[in-house]
Amino acid sequence: MKQLQKKWALLNKIYLLLFLVGKLNAQTFQNLVPNGSFETYTQCPNSANLIYSAVPWTGPRINSSDYNNACSTIMNVPHYAGVNHPYPYYLNAKDGSAYAGIYYYKPTDNDREYAQVKLIDSLINGVCYYAEFYAANTQGAPYGANNVGLNFSNTWYTNTTLVVNNSILNITQHITNFGNPILTDTVKWHKISGIYEATGIEKYLVIGNFSVNAKTDTVRIFRPVGLSPCAYMYIDAVSVFSINPNGTLPWSYRDTIINKGDSVFIGNKMGGLNFKPQWFTQSGIYIKTNAGITVSPTITSKYYVQYTLCGVQRTDTVKVTVLQPNQVALLKLKAVEEALKLFPNPTADLLNIDCEALNNEKLNCVLINGIGQAVLTSQIKFESGKAKMYVGTLAQGIYFLQLRGEARLLFKKIMIEK
Question: Can you give the CATH number for the domain in which 67 is found?
Answer: 2.60.120.260
In contact, 32 and 119? CB cutoff 8 Å? yes
Q: How many domains does one find in the chain?
A: 3
Q: Is residue 17 part of a domain?
A: no
* Mean pLDDT (10-residue bins), the chain, 418 residues: 53 42 57 97 92 95 88 80 54 93 90 95 96 91 93 89 70 93 90 95 96 93 67 96 92 88 92 87 95 95 95 94 72 70 87 81 84 87 84 88 66 60
| Residues 6 or more apart in contact with residue 286 via CB below 8 angstroms | 278, 279, 280
Do 234 and 264 fall into the same domain?
A: no
Report the pLDDT value the prediction gives residue 413, as an integer from 0 to 100: 58
Q: Is residue 248 part of a domain?
A: no
Q: Is residue 193 part of a domain?
A: yes
Q: Is residue 118 part of a domain?
A: yes
Residues facing residue 360 across a β-bridge: none
Q: Is residue 250 part of a domain?
A: no
User: Strand locations in 173-323, DSSP E?
Assistant: 175-176, 190-197, 204-208, 218-220, 231-242, 256-259, 264-267, 278-281, 286-289, 292-295, 301-309, 312-323
- For the chain, the first-to-last Cα distance in angstroms comes to 89
Do 305 and 164 fall into the same domain?
A: no
Do 134 and 90 fall into the same domain?
A: yes
Q: Is residue 15 part of a domain?
A: no
In contact, 102 and 65? CB cutoff 8 Å? yes
Report the pLDDT value the prediction gives residue 17, as an integer from 0 to 100: 38
Last residue of a domain, one of 213, 242, 271: 242
Do 179 and 151 fall into the same domain?
A: yes
Q: What is the C-alpha to C-alpha distance for residues 274 and 307, in angstroms, rounded to an integer?
A: 10
Q: Which of 319, 192, 321 is nearest to 268 (CA)?
A: 192
Report the pLDDT value the prediction gives residue 380, as an integer from 0 to 100: 85
CATH of the domain at 401: 2.60.40.3080
Do 315 and 353 fall into the same domain?
A: no
Report the pLDDT value the prediction gives residue 19, as an integer from 0 to 100: 40
In contact, 310 and 123? CB cutoff 8 Å? no
Q: Which of 206, 188, 186 is nearest to 196 (CA)?
A: 206
Do 194 and 309 fall into the same domain?
A: no
Report the pLDDT value the prediction gives residue 6, as an integer from 0 to 100: 53
Q: Is residue 2 part of a domain?
A: no
Do 106 and 213 fall into the same domain?
A: yes
**Would you call 75 exposed, middle or buried from its count of C-beta atoms within 10 A (0-12, 13-18, 19+)?**
buried
Do 84 and 163 fall into the same domain?
A: yes
Do 410 and 300 fall into the same domain?
A: no
Do 279 and 387 fall into the same domain?
A: no
State the residue range of the domain holding 49.
25-242
Do 89 and 210 fall into the same domain?
A: yes
